[in-house]
Structure formats: C-alpha cells, structure tokens
C-alpha cells in the first residue's frame, strides 16, 4: 500500500527522559520495517537515545540503525534537502534552513506535527486539522489516540500474537528473566515499577511487605530508585541489588533495550509505567497496570488522566472502577496508595479481564505508523 522510495524525515528534540526518543525511534523503525520507507531520524541528544538503544554511536553525525538513518541534529544546521514527508515530533521547531528547503520543493512535503497522546474527546475533532503555514507549506496536526477518528497507537505488526505466545511459554519467560538475573519464586507475583519520584510509594511497599503472599518487585534504574532506597533504609541502590523485607523482594534492574522492556512487561502480573510510550506498552501487555502520568503545569495532566480512566474503566463493575480510579488518581498525585491497592486487589480477576479486553479493543484500530502512511496516501 505504500509508495516505495518515499523519503520521510522525523525530527526529535529530547525534552527530558526517554519518551520523546522512545516514540520516534519506535515509529522510525516501523516505517522502515513494515512500510519499506526511507527514513531519517534527526535527534538532538544521542545519549538519551543510547539508553534505549545501546548500539547507538553517540559521536556519529550519521549512522544506520535497523535500517533507519540516524542523524545527530546539530546545533549548527547543515543544509539538506527536505523529504517527502516531514514529522515534527511533539511540536519541536524545525531548523529555519530546513523550513526553507521544504518551501523550495516543487511539490511541498506533507508536514505533520506528531502530538502527545491524550484520551480527551477534543483530540478526535483536531486530528488531521491544519496548523500553521510556512510559505507554501501547510502543517497538519496528527494526534495519536484511543478512539476511532484519531491516529491510533504505535503497535508493531504481529505484536499481540508475539506477546500471547510468550505469555503462554513459561520456559521462554523463565529464560528471559534469568537473563536479567531474576529468579522468580513460583508463588510470587511479579510487579515492574517504572515511575517518576513518588511520595506515595512507601504505603504501597508497606502493604506489599505485610501481605500474606510474596511479591517480587522489579525496578529498572531510574527516578523512583531514591524513594525505594529510602523505604528500604539503604544509602544507595545499584543495578543487581536485591533486598528482602517480609513478603517483599525488591530487585534493581538495568535499563534495557525497548524490546527487552516489552518482554519484561509481558512477564509481570502488574506493571507500573509512566509518561507515554511505556504506558502504551503496558496496555499491549494485556495485564493490570498503573500509570504515573507526566506532570504538567496548572495540573492540565489531570484532564488527561480522567479522560483515560473514563475509557479504560468503562467495562468494569462500579466497585472495580472506583478502586482503579482511586488507585490511579492517588498514585499520580503522589498520595499514599496502600489502601487503594488493597481495594483494587479485591477485584483482581476483573481487572485482568479488563486489561485483556482493552488490549484487544485497541488492537482493532489501525496502528499509528499505518495511519500515518494512509494519511500520506490520501493526501497526495
């Protein structure tokens, strides 16, 4: 369905953390692997990129990774011709010279702003609308989303089938976990924890430690480690550290490649995730989850959280929905979640079914890369 030989440029400025590069790297790879497109990914911070893709050479101005031409976006821009499709991720500003190169093309490129993910209703109405114009080149809003009429979510071809097979294969899971140094006790529930700093963590860990059943908590290196260390009353936590407190085992994991992180999510009974990309990946895992939303000025993230919760909990009984709402809202507000966790545990089978059903429902939508390509084909 694609026009081969179409050239795409994706521009990514790393604002903070790993979501900006996480999303654009995933998209770039998919456009190459599944749509045979020629893709350049311009990134201003190769160090952040290296964390999710260790093969990156942080000193290279140009390199190929998995078929994607990765270009270091230099402070001093060097003139280059504009591509057929130009994606500015998360409203980043393109170099002036590149904008002129877009305008100089005989046929202007399709210029799109790939926006942040939100479940809010207005997204459906704004997806695909014109944004600003530069000379003859019109910019278009492209919104990812959960509802028909949006750009959908990033999802690689065959991902859900691959995930299902892996979750049915106990030996493959054991082998994967052992590769990360994880020995899972047969009766222990496995939880992954990827979050920003969170004052509400203590109460959760208290409850997990005091529980009758064992929990193995896996914490990838990152911003929440300071809170975990404080709760454990240890000075520091480094990769490989394992601590036991009553029923709770806490283990610090290395930051792994994106595909390995997917497998980790697929192994776990419950995943705490954050930001945008890990949030989506936990949904594809089909297991109950908890989202630490990225905090924005004037609490505007609150509307995003409420909008997602309304969609995600629509199939739950009122009691289970209330428990999920309480848990998610408290966690994102940095409030104690111990009691909310216990309330949610009462509805565990229902939460598991809901996670599966939600994943299947979302899997019926066209994935974001395909939607972008289709948008281009409709546009030309």
> Interface residues with ligand TRH (CB under 6 A)?
15-20, 22, 52, 194, 220, 255-258, 261, 274-279, 294
The β-bridge partners of 137 are 134
Phi, psi of 118 (to 5 degrees): -150, 145
- Least distance in angstroms from the C-beta of 182 to ligand TRH: 13
- Which residues touch 313 (CB under 8 Å, ≥6 apart)? 320, 321, 324, 325, 354
3-class state of residue 147 by DSSP: coil
Residue 157: DSSP 8-state: T
User: Catalytic positions, please?
Assistant: 20, 276
- Least distance in angstroms from the C-beta of 336 to ligand TRH: 22
- Least distance in angstroms from the C-beta of 352 to ligand TRH: 22
Length of the chain: 380
- Which residues touch 184 (CB under 8 Å, ≥6 apart)? 174, 177, 190, 216
- DSSP H helical segments within the chain, as ranges? 19-35, 46-52, 96-104, 122-126, 159-167, 170-179, 201-210, 225-232, 258-267, 277-285, 301-312, 318-332, 338-345, 348-363, 368-379
Q: Which is nearer to ligand TRH, 70 or 102 (CB)?
A: 70
- Least distance in angstroms from the C-beta of 48 to ligand TRH: 9
Helix (H) or strand (E) holding 242: strand 242-245
- Which residues touch 93 (CB under 8 Å, ≥6 apart)? none
Please tell me the distance from the alpha carbon of residue 129 to that of residue 221, in angstroms, as a whole number.
39
- Least distance in angstroms from the C-beta of 350 to ligand TRH: 26
Please tell me the distance from the alpha carbon of residue 368 to that of residue 31, in angstroms, as a whole number.
10
Place of tokens 């101005």: 61
Query: Strand 7-12 to strand 38-43: parallel, antiparallel, or no bridges (unpaired)?
Result: parallel
Q: Cβ distance 135 to 129 under 8 Å?
A: no
- Least distance in angstroms from the C-beta of 15 to ligand TRH: 4
- Least distance in angstroms from the C-beta of 116 to ligand TRH: 6
């Amino acid at each position: 369905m694609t026009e081969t030989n179409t050239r795409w440029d994706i521009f990514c400025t790393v604002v903070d953390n790993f979501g900006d590069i996480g999303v654009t790297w995933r998209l770039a790879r998919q456009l190459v692997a599944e749509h045979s497109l020629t893709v350049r990914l311009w990134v201003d911070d190769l160090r952040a990129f290296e964390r999710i893709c260790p093969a990156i050479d942080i000193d290279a101005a140009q390199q190929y990774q998995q078929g994607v031409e990765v270009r270091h976006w230099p402070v001093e821009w060097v003139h280059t011709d504009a591509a057929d499709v130009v994606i500015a991720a998360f409203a980043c500003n393109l170099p002036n010279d590149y904008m002129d190169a877009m305008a100089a093309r005989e046929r202007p490129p399709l210029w799109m702003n790939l926006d942040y993910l939100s479940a809010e209703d207005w997204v459906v109405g704004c997806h695909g609308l014109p944004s600003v114009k530069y000379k003859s080149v019109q910019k278009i809003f492209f919104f990812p989303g959960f509802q028909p009429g949006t750009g959908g979510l990033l999802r690689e071809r065959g991902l859900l089938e691959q995930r299902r097979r892996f979750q049915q294969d106990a030996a493959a899971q054991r082998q994967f976990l052992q590769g990360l140094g994880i020995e899972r006790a047969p009766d222990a529930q496995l939880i992954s924890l990827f979050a920003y700093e969170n004052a509400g963590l203590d109460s959760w860990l208290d409850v997990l430690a005091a529980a009758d059943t064992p929990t193995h908590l896996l914490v990838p290196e990152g911003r929440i480690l300071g809170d975990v260390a404080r709760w454990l009353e240890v000075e520091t936590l480094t990769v490989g550290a394992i601590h036991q407190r009553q029923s709770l085992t806490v283990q610090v994991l290395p930051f792994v490649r994106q595909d390995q992180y997917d497998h980790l999510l697929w192994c776990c009974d419950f995943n705490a995730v954050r930001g945008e990309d890990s949030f989506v990946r936990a949904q594809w895992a089909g297991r109950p989850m908890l989202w630490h939303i990225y905090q924005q000025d004037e609490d505007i993230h609150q509307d995003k959280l409420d909008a997602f919760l309304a969609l995600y909990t629509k199939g739950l009984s009122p009691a289970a929905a209330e428990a999920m709402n309480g848990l998610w809202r408290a966690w994102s507000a940095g409030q104690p979640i111990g009691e909310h966790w216990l309330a949610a545990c009462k509805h565990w089978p229902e939460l598991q079914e809901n996670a599966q059903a939600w994943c299947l429902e979302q899997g019926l939508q066209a994935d974001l890369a395909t939607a972008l390509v289709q948008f281009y084909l409709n546009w030309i």
